[in-house]
Amino acid sequence: MEPLDEDAKLMLRYRDGDATAFSALYSRHKGPLYRYLLRQVRNAGVAADLFQDVWSRLVATRGRYEARAKFATYLYRIAHNCTMDFFRRASRLHPAAADDSDAPAAEPEVPESQRPDVIAEFAEQQSALLAAVSALPQEQREAFLLHEETGLTIEEIARVTDVGVETAKSRLRYAVRKLKKSLLPAAFPDARPVRTLNAST
């Protein structure tokens, strides 16, 4: 059996009534979790709601916590579920909203937070790399963010996202390939593509 990681020990202490353990856990994970959510849903307001939702669920289910795996997989499993709930709700209310695939959306009416222009505006405020992350299909974006923000392995990403290891690996591989292309213009400035939306600025 794997030794307990520090976070798991903190969570066990919190489960057993030590409130200070929660503060420690929170300060360790709040940044990566917030960025994971923000870059997943690409809207600060929605990210803030989901952020609070994730911690609420963690607090509510603390009594059932068992340190079977790395704490981060537990936390991000909750985050993944919250995010999927959000995308599912959005797609139910507005069928084209959560269609995050490469195919163009046919339905113009989407929720405010997931409108293409709002997402484009979000991406415009980012660097080229973050804009490229934002443009990835949702599953690939999630795999990349889970690895970068939390250091989860492919096996752990598979567990968090409830898919097979090969699927998780494939998603990450596609994400890396696409993102590496976005780095190329920096290495070869002459090849930097003109970004049409802010070309005049």
Partner 1 sequence: MHPPDDLDEYLRGDSALSCQYRRESAPAPPPALDRRVLEMSRAAGELAAGDSTAPHDSHTPRSVRAASAAPPCLAPLAFAASVLTSVALVLAIVFGPQSAKRVDDAPRVVRVVAHAELPQPYTNNSKAARAPSVWLADIAALRRAGRNREADEELRRFRTAYPTYPVYPAYSAAIRP
Sole binder of partner 1 in the list 6, 88, 121, 129 (CB under 8 A): 129
Q: Does 19 bind partner 1 (CB under 8 A)?
A: yes
Candidates 3-11, 53-61, 134-142, 160-168 — which segment interacts with partner 1 by CB under 8 A? 53-61
DSSP codes, 47-77: HHHHHHHHHHHHHHTGGG---SS-HHHHHHH
Closest C-alpha among 9, 19, 11 to residue 61: 11
Cα–Cα distances (Å) from 191 to 107, 126, 175, 181, 200, in that order, read: 35, 19, 21, 11, 18
Closest approach, Cβ 123 to partner 1, in A, equals 13
183 is an interface residue for partner 1 by CB under 8 A: yes
Contact set with partner 1 (CB under 8 A): 17, 19, 22-23, 26, 30-31, 34-35, 38, 48, 51-53, 55-57, 59-64, 126-127, 129-130, 133, 147-148, 154, 169, 172-173, 176-177, 179-180, 183, 186
